[in-house]
Chains A and B, each alone.
Chain A
Amino acid sequence: MLRRNFIKNSSVLSAGVLSQPGFLFKEDPLLGQGNKRYRLNTKWSMADVARNPVNDCHEMVQDSKGRIILLTNETKNNVLIYDKGGKLLSSWGSEYPGAHGLTLFNENGTDVLFICDNNRHQVIKTTLDGKVLLVLDYPRETGQYSKAEEYVPTETAIAPNGDIYVADGYGKDFIVRYDSTGRYISHFGGKGTESKHLSNAHGICVDQRNPHQPCLIVTSRQQNAFKRYTPDGVYIDTIPLPGAWVCRPVIKGDYLYAAVLQSNSQQGKQSGFVTILDKDLKVVSNLGGSEPQYVDHKLEEMYQTIKYFQYPHDVCVDDEENLYIAQWNSGKVYPYKLSPVI
């Protein structure tokens, strides 16, 4: 009798715990400010760590079928393909020890991937199931490189006509442009002291939000900034993001999203957050970071405020405006998912 009552009560208790009526229980705090606020799910990935481990989770994209694709430098499975609910659907890849940059391009109706491998000093174009379509070696044609080791590509961006832009973010900071077949066209950026130069050109994207004036947005991470260039590589302007070690720019709709690896004021201390800029390139929300403040149109230094993330490395925005955050050097954690709060 006692035992039966205990079981009965326990099941009621469990139900109470699970349902957590909102009027009485505190909700998890929201991340971000203004219209860009999110609720965090750190347990999104349902992958089995024993079968499908990750090392650094570097970048993520969503394919045309809505699946979420993760690139890690764990050579047991460099590419993990999830559904949006976090269920692991498939995995492939063991030949990308320096897997770093992942870009998806829809080529005449077919999704293809571009992988930047830091260790191989190459960019590799593949099908969604890993078949290699094209390999770009170090860009000897630029006249800037004498050996492969000088070239450490971190990111690609693909223009609507298929032109490939490669950011040599851990090498000489040049942006190298190829046509869709891999033929060298030009290069720009590079290290130096002028505004057009870059320092840790870690990411790049094509910004087509203004269809009359498409441009390239390139990360200059050590300068805590993005820089804009014309598609031909002519410098336009700098978007200062003081305090923020921004990774690649990711554009979805009117907004630009970027993982901030760490705060300048707390280097080496897992001080990352995620920043969101509107179409006027004004920071509107920092997830786990300080509320953006402009004084005389100048952005104040930004920094981590809540330790939700360690070293975020990329943001993927899905078709329902959810965010997926891949992290570098953060205890081999799987990506987190953030759902928008309306």
Chain B
Amino acid sequence: MKQLLFLFPIFLIGFICKGQTPVKLAPPLLKYQSVFFKNRASVELKFAQQGTQIYYTLNNRTPTIKDKVYRKPIQIKKSFTTLKAMTTGEEFTSSEIVAATFIKDGINVRSIQQMPANERFQGNGPNTLIDNEGGLPAIGSKTWLGYQQDSVEINVVLEGKQKLTTILINCLQDHGSWVFLPEQVLVYQSGGNTQSFQLAGERLDAVNENISVASCVPVQVLLSKKITTDKIKIVIRGIKSLPEWHPGKGRPGWLFIDEIKLY
């Protein structure tokens, strides 16, 4: 018995030494057609790794092991629902969080015209911003228009005069790939004739701190008042130069957009 008592701390220390930080899991695979939907979006989460589980939330909170375990595809009907998911396993460190916000269609757009994007990131062509496709947080996804210039101008023609309160621009944030959110978005409404536009709303955002995970961010501009118009012009200003903490500090950043919604 005395010998057993003596051996106990040996095993205990063995456990501690063996218990170096366990290797980290990768996040689950999020499978969906697009984050934009008319009636409902269906989302599948995948992680084919024994001894692990996927936990997720739909209330914008960081998932923990007290949240729901993923078992079957999730149906989303409410606009601006954010799904956050992670993987855990007894022998591993939990993964980073992956997230996606699902957005319901807005007011119909007759036509849209935007400045030409960088030749490497041309999206799905001229209607990329109104095709209800997108929201995949990978710069390689063919839904993104990528710009590396001071400002991007977009002209939108509506189906006749419509009441508007909010403009949404879906952007990619992927600091590791030098893709940042806009610093400023300006929205102008048509003054009646084609030449004159009046400022209807503005949004300014400071560059946020370093975020390691790529995500899609629906940047919303709330108009100063409800407007009625058949044309709007949107001017998006990207980050002028990368911040001090970034490996590419001082150099130009990228702006990635894949959809515009009007409400």
A-B contact pairs, 14 of them (CB 8 A): A13-B9, A16-B11, A17-B13, A25-B15, A26-B18, A26-B91, A263-B26, A268-B214, A290-B48, A291-B50, A293-B48, A305-B49, A306-B26, A306-B49
Looking at the assembled complex, report how far the CB atom of A175 sits from the nearest CB atom of chain B, in whole angstroms: 25
> Could you say which residues of chain B place their CB within 8 Å of the CB of A300?
46, 48
In the complex the two chains form, what is the Cα distance from A307 to B140 in whole Å? Answer: 21
Looking at the assembled complex, report how far the CB atom of A16 sits from the nearest CB atom of chain B, in whole angstroms: 3
Evaluate contact between A268 and B176: CB separation under 8 angstroms: yes
Interface centre among B10, B25, B47, B50 (most CB of A within 10 A): B10
A265 close to chain B: CB less than 8 A: yes
Given the contacts A20-B18, A307-B24, A267 and B48 also touching, CB distance less than 8 Å: no
A303 close to chain B: CB less than 8 A: yes
A304 close to chain B: CB less than 8 A: yes
In the complex the two chains form, what is the Cα distance from A290 to B52 in whole Å? Answer: 11
Interface string of A282-309 (1 = CB under 8 A from B): 0000000011010000001101111110
Chain B's interface: helix, strand, loop or mixed, by majority? mixed
Report, as a range, how many residues of chain A touch the other chain: 20 to 34
11 further A-B pairs in the complex, CB-CB below 8 A; given A26-B18, A268-B139, A290-B48: A13-B10, A25-B18, A265-B30, A265-B138, A267-B140, A268-B177, A290-B49, A300-B48, A301-B31, A303-B46, A306-B23
> Could you say which residues of chain A place their CB within 8 Å of the CB of B46?
290, 300-301, 303
Count of chain B residues with Cβ under 8 Å from any Cβ of A? 34
Residues of B within 8 A of A (CB): 7, 9-11, 13-15, 17-18, 23-27, 29-31, 46-52, 87, 91-92, 138-140, 174, 176-177, 214
A143 close to chain B: CB less than 8 A: no
> Could you say which residues of chain A place their CB within 8 Å of the CB of B174?
268
Closest to B26 in A: A304
In the complex the two chains form, what is the Cα distance from A306 to B22 in whole Å? Answer: 10
Evaluate contact between B27 and A25: CB separation under 8 angstroms: no
Looking at the assembled complex, report how far the CB atom of B56 sits from the nearest CB atom of chain A, in whole angstroms: 16
In the complex the two chains form, what is the Cα distance from A267 to B31 in whole Å? Answer: 15
